[in-house]
C-alpha cells in the first residue's frame, strides 16, 4: 500500500514548499529512487525545472520535464499530466488535489508551507488519504 508523508514547514522557515520539494527529491535520488514531481500546471512544472538547477549551489539533480526528457536517463521527472507517465516509485505532489494515479506509487510526498491556501488544500488531501486507510506520517520541518 502507498505510504504517504506530509512534510510541513514551520511558519518561521526561510524556504517554501518548492525548495522543500527540491531537497526531498535530492534525498530520494541519493537513495537511488526515481521521482515524479507532480505540479498543478505547465508553468509550475517549468518553474520546478528551473528551481531544481538553482536551489542549492553546487548541487546536480538529473531531472527534466516529462514530455522532453528520456525517462531511461532521467530519474527525476516533472509534469502535470493526468497519468504521471510510467513512474511508480516516489511521487512528490505539488498540485492542490490528490493525483488520480497516486496509488500506483510506493511513496507519496506532500510538501506544505505556511501559505493558508496550501495548508487548507493539504488538510483536505490528508483527510482523503486517511479516510481511505493509507498509512500517513507527518514531519515538522523547521527550516
CATH of 3-141, one of 3.90.550.10, 3.90.78.10, 3.40.50.10110, 3.20.20.370: 3.40.50.10110
Distances (CA, A) of 79 to 9, 45, 60, 118, 130: 23, 6, 19, 19, 25
Confidence (pLDDT) at 76: 97
> Domain map of the chain by residue range?
3-141
> 132: pLDDT confidence band, cut at 50, 70 and 90?
very high
CA-to-CA distance for 38 and 100, rounded, in angstroms?
11
**pLDDT above 90 (res 14):** no
Write the CB contacts of 73 (distance below 8 Å, at least 6 apart in sequence): 62
Confidence (pLDDT) at 103: 97
Confidence (pLDDT) at 56: 86
Nine-digit cell string for 30: 541519493
pTM of the entire predicted model: 0.96
**pLDDT above 90 (res 139):** yes
Confidence (pLDDT) at 84: 81
- b/e for 45-54, b at 16 or more Cβ within 10 A? beebbebbee
Write the CB contacts of 90 (distance below 8 Å, at least 6 apart in sequence): 28, 33, 34, 35, 36, 105, 106, 107, 108, 109
User: Comparing C-alpha atoms, which of 118, 91, 113, 68 is closest to residue 5?
Assistant: 91
**pLDDT above 90 (res 12):** no
**pLDDT above 90 (res 15):** no
Can you tell me the mean pLDDT for 75-95?
93
Confidence (pLDDT) at 105: 98
Amino acid at each position: 500500500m502507498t505510504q504517504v508523508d506530509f512534510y510541513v514547514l514551520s511558519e518561521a522557515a526561510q524556504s517554501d514548499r518548492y525548495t522543500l520539494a527540491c531537497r526531498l527529491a535530492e534525498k530520494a535520488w541519493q537513495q537511488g529512487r526515481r521521482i515524479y514531481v507532480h505540479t498543478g500546471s505547465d508553468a509550475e512544472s517549468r518553474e520546478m525545472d528551473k528551481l531544481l538547477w538553482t536551489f542549492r549551489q553546487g548541487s546536480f539533480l538529473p531531472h527534466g520535464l516529462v514530455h522532453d526528457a528520456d525517462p531511461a536517463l532521467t530519474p527525476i521527472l516533472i509534469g502535470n499530466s493526468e497519468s504521471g507517465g510510467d513512474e511508480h516509485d516516489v511521487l512528490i505532489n505539488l498540485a492542490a488535489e490528490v493525483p488520480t494515479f497516486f496509488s500506483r506509487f510506493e511513496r507519496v510526498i506532500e510538501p506544505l508551507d505556511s501559505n493558508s491556501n496550501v495548508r487548507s488544500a493539504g488538510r483536505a488531501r490528508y483527510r482523503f488519504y486517511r479516510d481511505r486507510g493509507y498509512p500517513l506520517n507527518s514531519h515538522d520541518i523547521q527550516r
